């Protein structure tokens, strides 16, 4: 399996604003999901599973300062910031994050925009929140060069997090990332539209996966041959601050979801990040596409939508016969807000305690997220807002 080394030339977008032997792991065993179906056995004897994915973790300078304050001034503590996502992540059979930034060296220096170096303690917090794996391909993957990529992947591995999208060697890049979830083996792939004009290091075309539809399809077929029942593709794409999917998103989504082998689709789910605002979910050629989940963790920006995001939750049911596709039997989105008052915290907008607060800003954010997510008619295909 050869992952992408060249970007699809469909428009360089603006910078973000103010592995040979297959690795097989099981996601941590979690409680039954809120939809009640993820632990039930089917007639085929294989369990359904629920996959949750969330948007960009983007550690602006204010996020770094908050993590330091939460640690009492010594070190960096991100668990308090992420606590609002823990009930959702821990209930999923597989939880996927998007780590947009790379990590600095132990002890720093740590920086926010424009060249991010995030405290590596965030990896342990992500794992403790309930996440199993993270996509790491973004326009900021090369902010700190090859050293930043290596530090990030080492910190994730020490925390027990899987990762895909960037690599320290060609062999690592070629190694399928396969994760057990419920009764399925799930493959995760990840790609980005570019690297903010930073060239790939000489002799290291494998350091970050760049969007090329034909290469993504080839990779999806390779991980299917390696044993994947479900193939989920994370893509860092879109136009910043634009809720509508751009031409690259639409064309790539159409190409990927039309691809099949032996009468079976090559890709089962597409999960988008990058735009910093909530974007639509849509069923394209029978496959769910999340154009953009918005930001999960980010500092306060001029556009309040930069603090809004959705979590995508899909429950997959096993086929009745071997070799047939797993199918999404339930599609949901969960609205989230990165609140800044009194401190920076991830807030689940549909959590009972949040609803009881009856805050006007929460109500407005929930409506904004819902309208964006459903703007291409996903509710007609059964997508529902959940908690």
Q: Is residue 6 part of a domain?
A: no
Predicted local confidence at residue 73, as pLDDT: 77
Residue 378 located in a structural domain:
yes
Average confidence (pLDDT) per 10 residues, the chain, 387 residues: 37 41 49 39 73 98 97 94 98 98 96 97 98 98 98 98 98 97 97 97 97 98 97 98 98 98 96 98 98 97 96 96 93 97 96 95 97 98 96
Q: Domain for residue 301, yes or no?
A: yes
Task: Please count the structural domains in the chain.
Answer: 1
In a domain, 108, yes or no: yes
Which pLDDT value is given to residue 24?
55
Question: Does some domain include residue 286?
Answer: yes
Residues 278, 333 contacting (CB under 8 angstroms): no
Alpha-carbon distance 244 to 332, whole Å?
20
Residue span of the structural domain in which 28 resides:
23-385
DSSP assignment of 3-57, as one string? ---S---S-PPPPP------EEEEPPP-PPPTTS-TT---TTS---EEEEEEEEE
Residue 351 CB neighbours (<10 A) = 16
Inside any domain, residue 10 = no
Tell me whether residue 2 is in a domain.
no
Burial of 65 (0-12, 13-18, 19+ CB in 10 A): middle
Sorted by sequence, the CB contacts under 8 Å of residue 217 that are 6+ apart come out as 255, 256, 259, 266, 267
Using alpha carbons, list the distances in angstroms from residue 368 to 274, 361, 376. 18, 11, 14
Q: State pTM to two decimals.
A: 0.90
The CATH code of the domain that includes 283 is 3.60.21.10
In a domain, 277, yes or no: yes
């Amino acid at each position: 399996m050869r992952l992408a080394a060249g970007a699809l030339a469909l428009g360089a977008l603006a910078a973000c604003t103010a592995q040979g032997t297959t690795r097989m792991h099981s996601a941590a065993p979690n409680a039954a999901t809120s939809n009640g179906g993820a632990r039930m056995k089917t007639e085929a004897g294989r369990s359904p599973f629920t996959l949750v994915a969330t948007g960009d973790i983007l550690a602006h300078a204010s996020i770094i300062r908050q993590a330091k304050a939460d640690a009492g001034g010594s070190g960096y503590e991100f668990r308090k910031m992420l606590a609002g996502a823990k009930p959702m992540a821990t209930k999923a059979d597989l939880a996927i994050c998007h780590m947009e930034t790379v990590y600095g060296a132990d002890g720093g220096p740590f920086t926010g925009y424009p060249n991010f170096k995030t405290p590596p303690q965030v990896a342990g917090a992500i794992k403790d929140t309930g996440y199993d794996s993270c996509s790491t391909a973004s326009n900021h993957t090369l902010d700190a060069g090859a050293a930043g990529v290596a530090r990030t992947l080492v910190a994730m591995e020490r925390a027990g997090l899987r990762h895909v999208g960037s690599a320290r060697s060609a062999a690592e890049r070629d190694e399928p990332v396969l994760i057990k979830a419920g009764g399925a083996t799930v493959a995760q792939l990840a790609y980005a539209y570019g690297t903010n004009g930073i060239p790939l290091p000489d002799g290291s075309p494998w350091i970050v996966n760049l969007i090329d539809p034909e290469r993504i399809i080839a990779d999806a077929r390779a991980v299917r041959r390696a044993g994947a029942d479900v193939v989920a593709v994370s893509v860092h794409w879109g136009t910043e601050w634009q809720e509508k999917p751009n031409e690259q998103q639409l064309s790539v989504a159409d190409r990927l979801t039309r691809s099949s082998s032996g009468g079976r689709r090559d890709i089962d789910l597409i999960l988008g990040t990058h735009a910093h605002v909530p974007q639509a979910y849509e069923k394209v050629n029978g496959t769910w596409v999340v154009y953009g989940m918005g930001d999960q963790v980010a500092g306060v920006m001029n556009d309040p939508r930069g603090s809004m995001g959705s979590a995508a939750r899909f429950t997959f049911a096993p086929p009745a016969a071997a070799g047939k596709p797993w199918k999404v039997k339930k599609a949901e989105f969960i609205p989230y807000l990165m609140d800044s008052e009194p401190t920076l915290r991830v807030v689940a907008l549909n959590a009972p305690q949040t609803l009881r607060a009856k805050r006007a800003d929460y109500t407005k954010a929930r409506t904004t997220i819902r309208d964006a997510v459903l703007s291409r008619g996903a509710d007609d295909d059964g997508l529902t807002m959940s908690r």
